[in-house]
């Protein structure tokens, strides 16, 4: 088979994708129009032009928040998630664990009932009509307070069965692992699974990785490429069987060499025998590139062998929050 056919046909799990970041420009315009929200964009190409202003995490998050402001109703959340599930399935993804950022919506006056209601409908519909299985991960904005995260976690008790774990996203600030220790302790006590972002280019990244492991006691790290910067971290991640949900994360405006850096780091993590997977992060807002597309680009950029691509897919199921029976059925 061609590499393209091989990659697309291989069953894969997506473990690092923000549902809000899956919103394609066309869907953004549809949702804005039906909600009567005026946008400065004449068409989808104009939205893509705006997304070209994103060149790093803070500039990306600014545009992400601007576009997300169009989302209001349960129907919007349902449509957003269904569009992603169908798209992911078209590239061979069979299972997804999907982040959502409740604080971004609560801060705009959108109630938890609309968020969970829409997400739950999409999850059930995807299983029934597509045979696609998904679970959700509640992600807290790490630049907001730990008290706010705790409040959102507690307020979500009526929907406890609709999310499997918690995470942290947004740009990293000094000292974040300690800041969220109590939130992660409470979530662990509720039987929730734990992960956090540790992205490249963020301050104190090695210390943040150690805080994620030793203070937050996460089972996965989202991105995690800087594990390579500390040999002790490489050993700890291997011994504790921590999943690294890496993403090549291409912005519309890409700094030269960044794709090579990220794909090369993923290759090195594989060579160290770590449980790294390859994920799409914010595909709708990053050039409409989904897992299959990104695997092909990474493979062509740094020469990942077919065995390595199989290992990435295998790692995605090994580190997914599946029951043993579910995992056996996928592997
Ligand atoms: N929120 C949405 N996408 C994100 C990313 N790639 N990193 C951190 N926070 C995010
Ligand atoms: Zn992310």
CA dist 146 → 33, 150, 172, 176, 178 (Å): 35, 6, 14, 10, 10
Which atom of ligand 1 is found nearest the CA of 222? 7
* pLDDT of 174 strictly over 90: no
* pLDDT of 47 strictly over 80: yes
Retrieve residue 138's tokens: 């509640």
CA dist 189 → 136, 156, 183, 193, 309 (Å): 18, 15, 10, 10, 36
Per-domain boundaries in the chain: 3-324
Say what the pTM is: 0.98
Ligand nearest to the CA of 59: 1
Q: Is 79 in the pocket of ligand 1 (CB under 6 A)?
A: no
Q: Which of 197, 221, 223 to mutate to test the pocket of ligand 1 (most atoms within 8 A of CB)?
A: 197
Contact status, residue 280 vs residue 297, Cβ threshold 8 Å: no
Q: Is 281 in the pocket of ligand 1 (CB under 6 A)?
A: yes
Ligand nearest to the CA of 245: 2
User: What's the pLDDT band for 199 if we cut at 50, 70, 90?
Assistant: very high
Q: Which residues contact 309 (CB under 8 A, 6 or more apart)?
A: 6, 7, 10, 295, 299
Q: Which of 56, 105, 170 to mutate to test the pocket of ligand 1 (most atoms within 8 A of CB)?
A: 170
Q: What is the CATH number of domain 3-324?
A: 3.20.20.140
Q: Is 172 in the pocket of ligand 1 (CB under 6 A)?
A: no
pLDDT in tens, 215-263: 999 999 999 999 999 999 999 999 999 999 999 988 998 888 999 999 9
List the beta bridge partners of residue 134.
96
Ligand nearest to the CA of 168: 1
**Percent of the chain with pLDDT strictly greater than 90:** 96
Q: Is 21 in the pocket of ligand 1 (CB under 6 A)?
A: yes
- Which of helix, strand or coil describes residue 197? strand
Distance separating alpha carbons of residues 256 and 251, to the nearest angstrom: 11
Q: What is the ipTM of this complex?
A: 0.96
CA dist 181 → 99, 133, 190 (Å): 20, 31, 14
Q: Tokens 């280019």 map to which residue?
A: 201
**Percent of the chain with pLDDT strictly greater than 70:** 100
Nearest CA to ligand 1 atom 9: 170
Q: Is 289 in the pocket of ligand 1 (CB under 6 A)?
A: no
Q: Which residues contact 145 (CB under 8 A, 6 or more apart)?
A: none
CB-neighbour burial class of residue 131 (10 A; exposed 0-12, middle 13-18, buried 19+): exposed
- Which of helix, strand or coil describes residue 262? helix
Q: Is 270 in the pocket of ligand 1 (CB under 6 A)?
A: no
Q: Is 170 in the pocket of ligand 1 (CB under 6 A)?
A: yes
* pLDDT of 175 strictly over 80: no
Mean pLDDT of the chain: 97
């Amino acid at each position: 088979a061609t590499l393209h056919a091989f990659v697309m046909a291989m069953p894969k799990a997506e473990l690092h994708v923000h549902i809000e970041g899956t919103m394609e420009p066309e869907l953004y315009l549809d949702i804005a129009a039906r909600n009567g929200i005026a946008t400065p964009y004449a068409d989808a190409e104009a939205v893509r032009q705006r997304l070209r202003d994103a060149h790093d995490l803070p500039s990306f998050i600014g545009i992400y928040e601007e576009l997300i402001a169009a989302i209001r109703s349960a129907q919007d959340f349902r449509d957003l998630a269904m569009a992603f599930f169908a798209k992911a399935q078209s590239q061979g993804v069979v299972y997804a664990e999907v982040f959502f950022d409740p604080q971004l919506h609560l801060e705009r006056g959108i109630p938890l009932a609309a968020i969970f209601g829409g997400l739950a409908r999409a999850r059930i519909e995807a299983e029934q009509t597509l045979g696609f299985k998904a679970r959700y991960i509640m992600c807290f904005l790490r630049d907001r307070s730990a008290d706010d995260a705790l409040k959102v976690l507690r307020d979500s008790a009526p929907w406890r069965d609709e999310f499997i774990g918690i995470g942290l996203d947004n740009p990293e600030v000094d000292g974040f692992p300690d800041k969220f220790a109590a939130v992660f302790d409470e979530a662990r006590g509720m039987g929730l699974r734990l992960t956090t972002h540790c992205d490249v280019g963020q301050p104190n990244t090695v210390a943040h990785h150690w805080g994620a492991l030793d203070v937050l006691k996460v089972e996965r790290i989202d991105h995690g490429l800087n594990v390579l910067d500390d040999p002790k971290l490489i050993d700890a991640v291997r011994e504790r069987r921590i999943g690294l949900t890496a993403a090549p994360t291409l912005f519309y405006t890409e700094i030269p060499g960044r794709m090579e850096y990220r794909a090369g780091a993923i290759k090195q993590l594989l060579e160290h025998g770590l449980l790294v997977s390859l994920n799409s992060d914010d595909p709708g807002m990053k050039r409409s590139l989904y897992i299959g597309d990104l695997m092909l680009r990474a493979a062509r950029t740094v020469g990942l062998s077919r065995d390595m691509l199989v290992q990435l897919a295998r790692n995605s199921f090994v580190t997914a929050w599946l029951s043993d029976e579910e995992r056996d059925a996928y592997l």
